[in-house]
Amino acid sequence: MKTGVVRIRVIYADTDAMGIVYHTNYIRWFEIGRTELMREAGVVYDEMEKEGFFLPLTELACHYLYPARYDEIVLVETRVEYFRRASVKFAYEIWDEKREKLLVEGSTLHAFLNREGRIVRAPVAAAEVFKALQGGQPVVGG
């Protein structure tokens, strides 16, 4: 299965008073991983939106296993768990830089909507990409 990997250094603003990453930042990192995976595969949010297709978040799961801390490097691994005609589910793993500890795992589910907010089938080009991402050859990795 194709996996995208993004390397992120924890900045001070991402942490709480104890120097531990504040929980909502992991969800922001999910978004970074998702948009970069899509971009690498040729699906750019901005272009989809210009064509009248939107991908709002409809469901989120996040399981915190270990904390990340200030100035550490984390790796955000993202893959397409499944693609359906009108939705796509992404799975995420956030690792320490050496991949010794899985820090966080989670998923997000997104529906395809048109400008009127109605659920629609994914645009053809995006559908082809998501189908390839869920089943196929690893082309992006890190």
Rounded to whole angstroms, the Cα distance separating 27 from 30 reads 5
Write down the CATH number for the domain with range 3-135.
3.10.129.10
- Please tell me which residue in 14, 16, 46, 96 is annotated as part of the active site: 16
Please say if 96 is a catalytic residue: no
Higher pLDDT, 70 or 3: 70
Question: pLDDT tens for residues 8-58?
Answer: 999 999 999 999 999 999 999 999 999 999 999 999 999 999 999 999 999
Question: pLDDT tens for residues 3-22?
Answer: 899 999 999 999 999 999 99
Q: Return the closest-CA partner of residue 140 out of 43, 29, 21.
A: 43
With pLDDT > 70 as the criterion, what percentage of the chain qualifies?
94
Task: For 107, list phi and psi in degrees, rounded to 5.
Answer: -155, 155
| pTM, full prediction | 0.90
Length of the chain: 142
Amino acid identity, residue 135? G
Amino acid identity, residue 69? R
Question: pLDDT tens for residues 101-133?
Answer: 999 999 999 999 999 999 999 999 999 999 999
